[in-house]
């Protein structure tokens, strides 16, 4: 326990940098910019930057949007936040197609890598710069990626779990969509990190569904099915609070460790109460801002590269920083 | 033409009775009546599942687990009671998942804004009633098929919830401004236990199921719902005002969906408009149909619905207890819905021929 | 009987797009009379009933109840005035019990949250059923298990379960046996004694003559005349008034079949046919060129015979057409082997109501009229035209929806559909139910000419005159078996009824 505290305090003080930079640095001089955009840049008119998010109705969307709005206040920038209600690839594609003639630059977080890659390539072929943020799309020709490396963040979560368990225990992994790309990436990172500890067994991955009641019931059933579970590793925002609530309400705080993601109100409260041992923030506001900023820099002639927006780790010791 | 047709129909009579135009219904024993009751098929399916699970897992039969299952199905069950009314009246309501979200979240927001518990709850329930009223008006006076009217409302209501919350999660806690005393009472509704063991959500479900059963099978209103679903023309000819009956069914549905949404937020003090209750309408309809109600109207019972809800709940619980993989679970749930309804259909065909 | 008018229609006109259904109709009905309303289909009877029911409102004209001008804006208002209407098309709730259907009105009229006392409802319903001689039907059994005839009586029971001043009966006995009809008439007469006014709509003119005090004749939306019933009023006279030209009864029934010239070559052979609960061991043959009538009371088994032979119902035993054995449960085999069925229930089993005349005509032989799955519009039109002409069906166009045709013309289109597959065996079940006199005669003529061309025809009917006058041979069913066979001069009403009311034990004895 003590050893764990040192470890987390140490790691929480710095934003870990992800090693996986997959795109090469790129400059506008190497890019076949559409003439209308080149004219706009030359004339100094405000640049229309579109930021498409994969589901504007999820809980991160407001944070990403506020980052985009912060960027919109920059001189010479019109930043607009768009995207489908519900993770709907067709809706995302048709919206971007409709707006493409107005775009001077596009930042996109794809609903599905496969579905969006051809569209991204077409937009680039039309001379409009495209970068990815939040969720990368490595299959496309996107210029760079701004965000958290999902495999890496999963790995961090796995390491935190191994730390709080002291290297031994039975863990279940919870996710609200086990089949989604982001979930598969984080899961593989987490399993990889946990596999380094022979004393830890990953019992199963629990697909919880999205409704809060459903999530709670799924966790409740799973905990009853295996009474020897000592750790719950949640891969996203939304199964973290129900996992904490279950542990809290069943008097198992401390016996069963919870490591999760993001800084929902409820998560913050559970961390401060010591029910959830650690949570990983992915700074969604910063992702929204950086997405616009990178495109503006690129059009302004600066060379840009992949940007890691970092993994912020919060534990009971530093959670006060986010409790305003 | 002077013979008395009843003269020769006494029990045990062997004398030929040429005047008889049709035979007496046979006297039915209690056991046969139980076997032919509408709910028997679904009840047997539930029993089979429970027996199988109690033999193949250690924890299924524990009190904790059974109370958990009871609590887990409560909100689905509360909505299914309303859906039973709507389906029997010959309509359908697809907007219930959205109503659940909007009513729950708006109640939560009001509590955070410092409203008293009763006004906040009343507002949430009124919101559900209003949605039910609109569904009812569109489906009767508006002459839209309820499938279309409520499909539209599904989207309108979910969109309204997103607009209202700006897509941000609503968390009802003291830090966000809720009065601690009010919060305590609110959370008791969702998280508390009656006599220290029965989850409050389950208590609400049981009470509402009893009220629903009384209303449906013991009152004139319930009778009208069956009559309207059986034959609109017969109902009209008998002086029943068909639109009123249907609108009330939708309003009951709306209020119950709102109640479930509010209890959901009281249980986990956080919800989000893009996620809360998403797709719930299909679970609700599936449970009611598994319980023996007909999408064509006229058929259904509250008891059957309760069994249908329990089948869905026990199934989800059991599949996790058995350690079935998440993707296989989806397949299993679909199979059980089809098999349960098929058994019911086949057995009732046999009964009626 | 007083001369006081309880209900009066003054200059009522009601139009529908393209049709004037009621044209300046005035009529007066007296308290405590039995007033028959007759007319061919499309004469305006059902529009008049719908106005009384509050389902339709007149374009112009006024209604007077007990001398006071009244509007009937809804079924409820109609009920409140003490008007009860029994439509020919059953409007019952299949999901409720017999008793609940009988007492639907009073049970539903209680305040929404009042407690329903089912026991007292069952008792009250039992009393009403007893008045109709239905003591053997338990009020607490599901309606769905009843025969069509029983359901028709339940519908009537519902109408008389409440205080009634004016009772409108629309073909109330179309599914009833003779004995049930008699009981219905007794009930109608006793209601009359109680001062109830009865409007009796029927195609059965002999019944009308036996029952009615006065008779109103409608034609083409107009009320032609109202007669006092008396010795001088005859079926011929009524028919003449209805059709607007002189038709004598002899002409109507002149198509009585003589024994066919064709050698008795067997077209259809039924051996040991059984349907659990309905038919036991029926064995008979049907020859080319004959019209075989099947008579029997409701529940004698005759009403499932057609569907059993055609393969719509599970059955035991064998059915052969020209040596080909048909498998049960496969109606398309029956069609392929040369069998056609004209079912009893036009609306639910026969016509594709939402489709056009042409589509209905060809629907039984789609393969003939499609190429690569696409309908061949030209061929469809040609063939539909031919049948419409040959059967003299009066339709505005081939594209007209069949639902808008009169009963007789609908039946002709369904007949055309049955003939288009070129059948060798034609089975008709209640071929003229609810059809007016003129159309009936035309259908009989068509059947006769088909038989003359060698088709084997089997006609199952509840209407005795139909069976007696148009069959060369009659099988009488009773108690689930074929009780006996009558030919030629043996075919009399007395002989048929004596067989029809026998039971299996008596036969053995």
Q: What is the pLDDT of residues C234-250, one digit of tens each?
A: 877 887 787 665 544 33
Q: Mean pLDDT, to the nearest integer, of B5-33?
A: 44
CB of C140 within 8 Å of a chain B CB? The answer is no
- Residue B3, pLDDT above cutoff 70: no
ipTM of this complex prediction, to 2 decimal places: 0.77
Q: Do B221 and C113 touch (CB under 8 A)?
A: yes
Task: Look at residue A35 and give its three-state secondary structure.
Answer: helix
Closest CA to C203 of C412, C465, C390: C465
pLDDT computed for residue A324 by the predictor:
64
Closest CA to C48 of C70, C65, C63: C63
Tokens 């059923």: give the residue: C129
Q: What angle do CA C407, C413, C417 make, to 5 degrees?
A: 140
For the packed helices B302-321 and B280-290, what is the interaxial angle rounded to 10 degrees? 120
Within a domain: B48:
no
State how far the Cα of A116 lies from the Cα of A139, in Å rounded to an integer.
9
Identify how many contiguous H helices and E strands chain C contains and give both numbers.
Answer: 19, 22
Residues C291, C448: contact at Cβ < 8 Å? yes
Closest CA to B48 of B344, B340, B334: B340
Q: Mean pLDDT, to the nearest integer, of A99-122?
A: 89
Closest CA to A164 of A204, A205, A197: A197
pLDDT computed for residue C509 by the predictor:
46
Task: Look at residue C369 and give its three-state secondary structure.
Answer: helix
| B21 interaction partners in chain C (CB closer than 8 Å) | 136, 177, 179-180, 297-299
CB of A320 within 8 Å of a chain B CB? The answer is no
State how far the Cα of B89 lies from the Cα of B87, in Å rounded to an integer.
5
C291-296 and C374-375 as β-strands: parallel, antiparallel, unpaired? unpaired
In C391-502, alpha helices (H): 407-419, 437-452, 464-470, 493-500
pLDDT computed for residue B37 by the predictor:
67
Of B21, B235, B248, the CB nearest to C177: B21
pLDDT computed for residue B26 by the predictor:
46
Q: What is the pLDDT of residues C110-127, one digit of tens each?
A: 888 888 888 888 888 998
| C53 interaction partners in chain B (CB closer than 8 Å) | 237
Question: How do the residues of chain B divide into helix, strand and coil, expressed in percent and rounded to 5?
Answer: 70, 5, 30
Specify the DSSP element, H or E, that contains C107: helix C104-109
Cα of B28 to nearest chain A Cα, Å: 43
Query: What is the CATH topology of the domain spanning A2-13+150-281?
Result: Rossmann fold (3.40.50)
Question: Residue C112 — left, alpha, or beta (φ > 0 → left; ψ -120 to 50 → alpha)?
Answer: alpha
Cα of C341 to nearest chain B Cα, Å: 22
Within a domain: B54:
no
* Strand arrangement, sheet containing A47-52: A77-82, A47-52, A105-108, A130-133, A145-147, A307-308
pLDDT computed for residue B33 by the predictor:
61
For the packed helices B146-165 and B117-139, what is the interaxial angle rounded to 10 degrees? 150
Q: Mean pLDDT, to the nearest integer, of C368-390?
A: 74
- Residue A20, pLDDT above cutoff 80: no
Q: Where are the domains of chain C?
A: 5-252, 264-337+467-509
Q: Mean pLDDT, to the nearest integer, of C488-509?
A: 70
Closest CA to B25 of C306, C423, C140: C140
Domains C5-252 and C264-337+467-509 share a fold: yes
State how far the Cα of A186 lies from the Cα of A209, in Å rounded to an integer.
17
Tell me what the pLDDT averaged over chain B comes to.
85
Q: Where are the domains of chain A?
A: 2-13+150-281, 28-148+283-305
Distance of CA C28 to the CA centre of its chain: 28
Lowest mean pLDDT among A231-235, B77-81, B113-117, C461-465: C461-465
φ/ψ of A22, rounded to 5, equals: -100, -20
Residues A240, A234: contact at Cβ < 8 Å? yes
Q: What is the pLDDT of residues C7-55, one digit of tens each?
A: 999 999 998 766 678 989 999 999 999 999 988 666 788 889 989 988 8
- Residue A2, pLDDT above cutoff 80: no
Closest CA to A129 of A307, A296, A308: A296
Q: Which residues pair with A200 in a beta bridge?
A: A169
Within a domain: B96:
yes
Tokens representing C250? Answer: 């002899």
Domain tally, chain B: 1
Q: What is the pLDDT of residues A277-317, one digit of tens each?
A: 999 998 899 999 999 999 999 999 899 999 888 888 999 99
Of B264, B316, B321, the CB nearest to A224: B321
Task: Look at residue B101 and give its three-state secondary structure.
Answer: helix
CB pairs under 8 A between B and C: 124
DSSP E strands in C109-246: the ranges are 166-170, 197-201, 214-219, 222-228
Candidates B20, B237, B301, partner chain C, best to mutate (most C CBs within 10 A): B237
Task: Look at residue B40 and give its three-state secondary structure.
Answer: helix
Closest CA to A212 of A249, A233, A237, A230: A237
Q: Do A62 and B166 touch (CB under 8 A)?
A: yes
Task: Look at residue B66 and give its three-state secondary structure.
Answer: helix
pLDDT computed for residue B348 by the predictor:
60
What's the Rg (C-alpha) of chain C? 24
Could you list the residue range(s) of the whole structural domain that residue B100 is in? 62-278
Tokens representing B107? Answer: 């109640």
* Neighbour subunits, C (≥3 Cβ pairs < 8 A): B
Q: Which is more confident, A58 or A9?
A: A58
Q: Mean pLDDT, to the nearest integer, of B42-59?
A: 87
Tokens representing B204? Answer: 């609400």
Within a domain: B187:
yes
- Residue A89, pLDDT above cutoff 90: no
Half-sphere exposure of A249 (CA within 13 A, CB side): 20
CATH number of C264-337+467-509: 3.40.50.300
Q: What is the pLDDT of residues C140-192, one digit of tens each?
A: 888 888 887 788 889 889 888 888 899 999 888 767 777 888 888 888 898 89
Tokens 């003269």: give the residue: B7
pLDDT computed for residue A310 by the predictor:
80
C/A touch flag: 3 or more CB pairs below 8 Å: no
Residues B92, B136: contact at Cβ < 8 Å? no
| C298 interaction partners in chain B (CB closer than 8 Å) | 21-22
* Confidence (pTM): 0.74
CB of A141 within 8 Å of a chain B CB? The answer is no
- Residue B298, pLDDT above cutoff 50: yes
CATH number of A28-148+283-305: 3.40.50.2300
Q: pLDDT grade, residue A256 (50/70/90)?
A: very high
CB of C150 within 8 Å of a chain B CB? The answer is yes
For the packed helices B242-267 and A212-225, what is the interaxial angle rounded to 10 degrees? 60
Q: What is the largest CA-CA distance in chain C?
A: 72
Within a domain: B309:
no
B/C touch flag: 3 or more CB pairs below 8 Å: yes
Share of chain C above pLDDT 90, in %: 17
φ/ψ of B337, rounded to 5, equals: -60, -50
Q: Which is more confident, A101 or B243?
A: B243
Tokens 């039975």: give the residue: A170
Query: What is the CATH topology of the domain spanning C5-252?
Result: Rossmann fold (3.40.50)
- Residue B246, pLDDT above cutoff 90: yes
Q: Which residues pair with C115 in a beta bridge?
A: B219
| DSSP structure string for A69-103 | HHHHTSTTEEEEEE--SSS-HHHHHHHHHHHGGG-
Within a domain: B288:
no
C-alpha dist (Å) from residue C129 to B73, B332, C136, C156, C494: 45, 50, 9, 9, 29
Half-sphere exposure of C199 (CA within 13 A, CB side): 29
List all residues 6 or more positions away from A129 whose beta carbon is below 8 Å from its beta carbon: A28, A31, A33, A105, A106, A143, A295, A298, A299
Within a domain: B55:
no
- Residue B352, pLDDT above cutoff 80: no
Q: Which residues pair with C370 in a beta bridge?
A: C375
Of B1, B16, B222, the CB nearest to C506: B16
Tell me what the pLDDT averaged over chain A comes to.
87
Residues B105, B273: contact at Cβ < 8 Å? yes
Question: How do the residues of chain C divide into helix, strand and coil, expressed in percent and rounded to 5?
Answer: 40, 25, 35
- Residue A196, pLDDT above cutoff 80: yes
**Residues constituting chain B:** 353
pLDDT computed for residue C253 by the predictor:
38
């Amino acid at each position: 326990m003590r050893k764990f505290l040192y470890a987390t305090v140490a790691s929480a003080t710095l934003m870990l940098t992800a090693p996986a930079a997959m795109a090469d640095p790129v400059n506008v001089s190497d890019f076949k910019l559409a003439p209308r955009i080149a004219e706009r840049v030359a004339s100094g008119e405000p640049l229309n930057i579109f930021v498409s998010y994969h589901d504007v109705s999820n809980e991160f969307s407001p944070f990403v949007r506020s980052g985009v709005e912060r960027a919109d206040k920059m001189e010479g920038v019109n930043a607009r936040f768009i995207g489908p209600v519900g993770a709907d690839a067709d809706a995302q594609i048709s919206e971007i197609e409709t707006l493409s003639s107005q775009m001077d630059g596009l930042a996109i977080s794809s609903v599905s890598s496969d579905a969006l890659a051809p569209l991204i390539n077409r937009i680039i072929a039309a001379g409009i710069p495209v970068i990815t943020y939040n969720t990368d799309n490595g299959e496309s020709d996107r210029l760079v990626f701004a965000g958290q490396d999902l495999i890496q963040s999963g790995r961090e979560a796995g390491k935190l779990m191994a730390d709080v368990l002291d290297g031994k225990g039975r863990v279940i992994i919870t996710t609200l969509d086990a089949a989604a790309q982001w979930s598969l990436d984080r899961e593989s990172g987490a399993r990889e990190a946990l596999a380094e500890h022979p004393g830890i067994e990953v019992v199963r991955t629990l697909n919880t569904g999205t409704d809060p009641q459903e999530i709670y019931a799924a966790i409740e059933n799973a905990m009853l099915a295996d009474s020897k579970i000592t750790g719950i590793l949640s891969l996203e925002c939304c199964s973290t609070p129900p996992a904490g609530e279950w542990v809290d309400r069943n008097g198992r705080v401390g016996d069963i460790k919870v490591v999760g993601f993001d800084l929902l109100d409820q998560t913050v409260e559970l961390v401060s109460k010591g029910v959830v041992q650690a949570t990983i923030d992915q700074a969604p506001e910063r992702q929204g801002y950086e997405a616009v900023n990178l495109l503006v820099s690129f059009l302004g002639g600066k060379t840009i590269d992949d940007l890691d927006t970092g993994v912020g780790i919060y534990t009971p010791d530093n959670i006060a920083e986010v409790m305003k | 033409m002077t013979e008395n047709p009843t003269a020769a129909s006494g029990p045990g009579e062997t004398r030929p009775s040429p005047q008889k135009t049709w035979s007496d219904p046979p006297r039915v024993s209690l056991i046969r009546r139980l076997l032919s009751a509408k709910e028997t098929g679904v009840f047997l399916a539930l029993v089979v599942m429970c027996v199988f699970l109690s033999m193949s897992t250690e924890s299924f039969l524990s009190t904790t687990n059974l109370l958990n299952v009871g609590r887990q199905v409560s909100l689905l069950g509360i909505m299914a009671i309303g859906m039973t009314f709507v389906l029997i009246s010959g309509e359908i309501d697809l907007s219930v998942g959205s109503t659940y979200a909007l009513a729950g979240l708006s109640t939560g927001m009001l509590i955070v804004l410092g409203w008293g518990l009763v006004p906040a709850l009343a507002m949430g329930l009124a919101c559900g009633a209003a949605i039910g009223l609109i569904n009812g008006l569109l489906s009767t006076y508006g002459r839209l098929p309820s499938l279309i009217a409520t499909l539209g409302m599904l989207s309108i209501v979910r969109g309204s919830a997103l607009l209202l919350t700006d897509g941000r999660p609503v968390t009802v806690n003291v830090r966000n401004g809720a009065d601690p005393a009010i919060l305590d009472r609110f959370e008791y509704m969702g998280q508390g236990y009656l006599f220290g063991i029965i989850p409050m959500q389950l208590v609400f479900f049981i009470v509402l199921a009893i009220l629903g059963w009384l209303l449906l099978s013991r009152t004139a209103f319930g009778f009208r719902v069956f009559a309207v679903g059986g034959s609109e023309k017969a109902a009209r000819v008998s002086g029943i005002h068909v639109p009123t009956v249907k609108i009330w069914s939708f309003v009951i549905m709306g209020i119950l969906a709102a109640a479930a949404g509010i209890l959901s937020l009281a249980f986990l003090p956080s919800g989000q408009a893009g996620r809360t209750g998403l797709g719930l309408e299909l679970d609700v309809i599936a449970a009611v149909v598994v319980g023996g109600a007909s999408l064509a109207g006229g058929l259904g019972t509250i008891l059957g619905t309760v069994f249908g809800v329990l089948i869905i709940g026990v199934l989800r619980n059991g599949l996790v207890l058995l350690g079935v993989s998440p993707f296989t679970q989806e397949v299993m749930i679909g199979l059980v819905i089809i098999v349960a309804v098929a058994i019911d259909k086949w057995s009732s065909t046999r009964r009626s021929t | 009987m007083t001369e006081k008018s309880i209900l009066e229609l003054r200059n009522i006109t009601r139009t529908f797009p393209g049709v004037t259904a009621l044209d300046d109709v005035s009529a007066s009905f007296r308290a405590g009379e039995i007033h028959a309303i007759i007319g061919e289909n499309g004469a305006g009877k059902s529009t008049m009933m719908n106005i009384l029911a509050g389902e339709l409102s007149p374009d112009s004209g006024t209604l007077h109840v007990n001398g006071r001008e009244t509007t009937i804006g809804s079924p409820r208002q109609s009920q409140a005035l003490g008007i009860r209407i029994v439509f020919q098309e059953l409007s019952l709730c299949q999901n409720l019990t017999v008793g609940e259907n009988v007492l639907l009105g009073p049970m539903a009229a209680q305040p929404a949250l009042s407690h329903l006392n089912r026991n007292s409802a069952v008792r009250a319903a039992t009393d009403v059923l007893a008045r109709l001689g239905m003591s053997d039907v338990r009020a607490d059994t599901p309606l769905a298990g009843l025969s069509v005839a029983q359901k028709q009586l339940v519908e009537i029971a519902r109408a008389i379960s409440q205080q009634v001043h004016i009772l409108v009966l629309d073909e109330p006995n179309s599914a009833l046996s003779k004995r049930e009809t008699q009981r219905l008439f007794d009930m109608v007469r006793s209601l009359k004694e109680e001062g109830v006014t009865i409007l009796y709509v029927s195609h059965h003119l002999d019944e009308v003559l036996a029952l009615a005090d006065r008779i109103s004749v409608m034609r083409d939306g107009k009320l032609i005349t109202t007669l006092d019933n008396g010795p001088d009023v005859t079926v011929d006279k009524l028919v003449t008034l209805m059709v607007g030209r002189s038709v004598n009864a002899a002409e109507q029934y002149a198509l009585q079949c003589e024994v066919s010239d064709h050698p008795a070559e067997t077209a259809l052979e039924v051996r040991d046919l059984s349907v659990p609960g309905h038919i036991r061991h029926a064995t008979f043959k049907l020859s080319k060129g004959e019209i075989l009538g099947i008579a029997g009371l409701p529940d004698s088994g005759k009403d499932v015979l057609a569907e059993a032979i055609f393969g719509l119902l599970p059955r035991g035993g064998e059915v052969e057409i020209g040596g080909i054995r048909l498998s049960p449960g496969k109606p398309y085999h029956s069609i392929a082997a040369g069998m056609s069925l004209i079912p009893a229930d036009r609306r639910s089993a026969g016509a594709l109501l939402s489709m056009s005349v042409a589509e209905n005509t060809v629907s039984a032989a789609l393969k003939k009229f499609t190429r690569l799955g696409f309908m061949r519009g030209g061929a469809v039109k040609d063939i539909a035209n031919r049948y419409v002409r040959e059967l003299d069906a009066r339709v505005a166009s081939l594209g007209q929806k069949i639902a808008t045709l009169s009963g007789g013309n609908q039946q002709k289109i369904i007949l055309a559909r049955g003939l288009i597959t070129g059948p060798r065996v034609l089975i008709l079940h209640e071929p003229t139910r609810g059809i007016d006199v003129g159309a009936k005669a035309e259908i009989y003529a068509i059947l006769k000419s088909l038989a003359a061309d060698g088709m084997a025809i089997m006609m199952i009917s509840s209407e005795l005159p139909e069976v007696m006058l148009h069959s060369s041979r009659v099988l009488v069913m009773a108690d689930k078996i074929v009780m006996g066979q009558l030919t030629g001069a043996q075919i009399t009403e007395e002989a048929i009824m004596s067989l029809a009311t026998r039971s299996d034990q008596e036969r053995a004895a």
